[in-house]
Structure 1
Amino acid sequence: MDESVKFKLYRMSVWCGVVVLIANTFAFSVVGKLTPPISPTATPQQVADFLTDHRTGILWAAVIMGVFAPFFYAFAVVTSLQIRRIEGGWGLLSMIQLTTAVVAPTGWVYPLAVLATAAYRPHRDPALMQLLSDQFWLTYVGVAVIFVVNVAVIGLSAFLDRRPEPVFPRWFAWLNFVLAIAFFPGVFVYVATDGPFAWDGVFTVVVPSVAFVVWKIAMIVVLLRAVKSEEREVLGERELPVPVAG
């Protein structure tokens, strides 16, 4: 493959992160109207009424994420390729980042598919609709803890980088460590029905949601810079004169 084409694909993969961020925000907040979340203490009838009132939006939110969530895979791969530069080849950190990033699209699409199932037939038994709604929120919020490993590994790779021109800036390492901590409380939704650790709580929804936007924007900025620095390295090597034997 021509190097110029390769780096164009890399940049397109980074911008896929922008596509996913916009689609995620639009699907969940604007179309599905799932922010703020319904209370975990809502009665079956209240849940059924919510799903019935928002049925069309929820179904279209599932469609939107079904179309755009896979763009995250390109974003995840280009991230691993940059960590690979730090490791000098495929290694533990680049592979952990890649495998944990695979969870992200599934963590959006699968829970939405469950909620769409609940909303699909509005005359379903309210108790069953509540059951499916519970599964959506517990899965959507709770599974985000896997993302802690992903973010922490990116931070660790930046921290361990000893290249003369680091792939990621050092401040980015500390930012990822802080954001990894911000994502962690989501796992406690399984044991809380109210308060800051419930699925509508400040530590499980509000803080992680803000952290995700900050992380995504920071990732896009540093990845674009990293791709540019890699391109300079590759093109610089190609421009070096070939020594003449003699």
Structure 2
Amino acid sequence: MHQDRYMKLQRFSAWCGFILLVGFMAAYTTGGLITPMDPTLSSDEVVEWLKDNQTGILACVAIMVLTVPFEYPFVVVTSLQLKRIEGGWGLLSMTQVLTGVVAPIGFFFPLAILSAAAYRPERHSADVLSAMVDIYWLMLVGNACIFVLQVWCIGYGALIDRRAKPIFPRWFGWLNIVLGVALIPGAFVYLNKTGPFAWNGLLAYLIPTIVYTIWKIATPAMLLRAIKHEEAELAEAKEKPEATAQLAAS
């Protein structure tokens, strides 16, 4: 592929991170899902919440169906930049891309179940609808900890990069480590209906959501920075033939 076209594709893929953030915010705001419902609500109260938010939930899922595909180029370009740190496809870049491919499922499968509950609520009993809503919140918040390894791969890659001009700054490496730690409490939503480890709690939901939002802004910005540096390296390699060998070995 022509170099200019390849770099444009990388930049587009990095911008996909911003598209994802805007899409997620629009979808979850439309669906009334930014603030989780109380896990202690009765079945009748859950049904009332579901009916009150029916149109918004279905619109949220439609927006997410259009938004989620942008996750894939975003994940791939992240691994391409990790590949530069490793000097080729390695453990960090491969683990990141494999775990990143699963990431959209963590959003869409729970929403698919919630949309099924909201689509025809009159056909199901309060207990069935309540169980479906429980599955949505438990999967969305509880399964987030699965992606700890993904962000730790990015963070570790940033921290071990010893080149004169690191691909990612060290603070970005630590941001990924912090996000990974922040996602871990989500595993405990299955054991708690109240408190900081419930699906609407401080440790399981609020702090991870804040850190994830910061990460979703910082990561595309750092990718665009890394792509710009890669372009400069390639331009220098063209001007100085001896630099080509150094670039290939890095």
Structure 2 length as normaliser, TM-score? 0.94
1:110 aligned partner: 109
* Structure 1 pair 80–241 and aligned structure 2 pair: CA distance change class (3 A): closer
Counterpart residue identity of residue 72, structure 1: E
Q: Write the letter of the residue equivalent to 1:63.
A: A
Letter in 2 for 1:166: P
Gaps of 5+ in 1: none
For residues 168-213 of structure 1, the C-alpha deviation after alignment (integer angstroms, 9 at most, x for no partner) is 1112112211121111111110111111100010111110110111
Could you say which residue in structure 1 is the equivalent of 2:147?
147
What code does the residue aligned with 1:117 have? A
User: What is the match of residue 92 of structure 2?
Assistant: 93
**Separation of aligned partners in 2, 1:146 and 1:161:** 25
Partner of residue 174, structure 2:
174
Contact 1:142 1:188 in 2 (8 A): yes
Q: CA RMSD in A?
A: 1.1
Distance in structure 2 (CA, Å) of the matches to 1:196 and 1:165: 41
Structure 2 CA distance for aligned equivalents of residues 138 and 241 of structure 1: 56
Aligned residue for 1:49?
Answer: 48
C-alpha separation between the residues in 1 aligned to 2:39 and 2:84? Answer: 45
Which SS does the other structure have where 1:207 is aligned?
helix
Instruction: Single out whichever of 171-180 and 3-12 deviates more from structure 2.
Output: 171-180
Paired with 1:31 and 1:174, the residues of 2 have a C-alpha distance of 33
2:169 maps to 1:203: no
Task: Kindly state the Cα deviation for residue 241 of structure 1 after the two structures are TM-superposed.
Answer: 5.1
**Alpha-carbon distance between aligned partners in 2 of 1:101 and 1:190, rounded to the nearest angstrom:** 24
Partner AA of 2:166 in structure 1: P
Could you say which residue in structure 2 is the equivalent of 1:24? 24
Letter in 1 for 2:231: E
Q: Counterparts in 2 of 1:64-75, with a 5 A limit?
A: 64-75=63-74
Q: 1:114-140 deviations in whole A, cap 9, x for unaligned?
A: 000111112121100001001000000
Counterpart Cα distance in 1 of 2:135 and 2:203: 19
Aligned length: 241
Identity, % of aligned pairs?
Answer: 48
The answer as to whether partners of 1:189 and 1:204 remain within 8 angstroms in 2 is yes
2:150 paired with 1:125: no
Q: Secondary structure at the match of 1:68?
A: helix
Q: Which amino acid aligns with 2:186?
A: G
Runs of 4+ in 1 over 4 A off after TM superposition: none
Stretches of structure 2 lacking an aligned partner (at least 5 in a row) = 243-250
In the other structure, the counterpart of 2:7 is: 7
CA–CA separation in structure 2 for the residues paired with 1:141 and 1:40: 12
1:3 maps to amino acid = Q
Check conservation: 1:183, 1:211, Cα contact below 8 A.
Answer: no
For 1:161, the equivalent position in structure 2 comes to 161
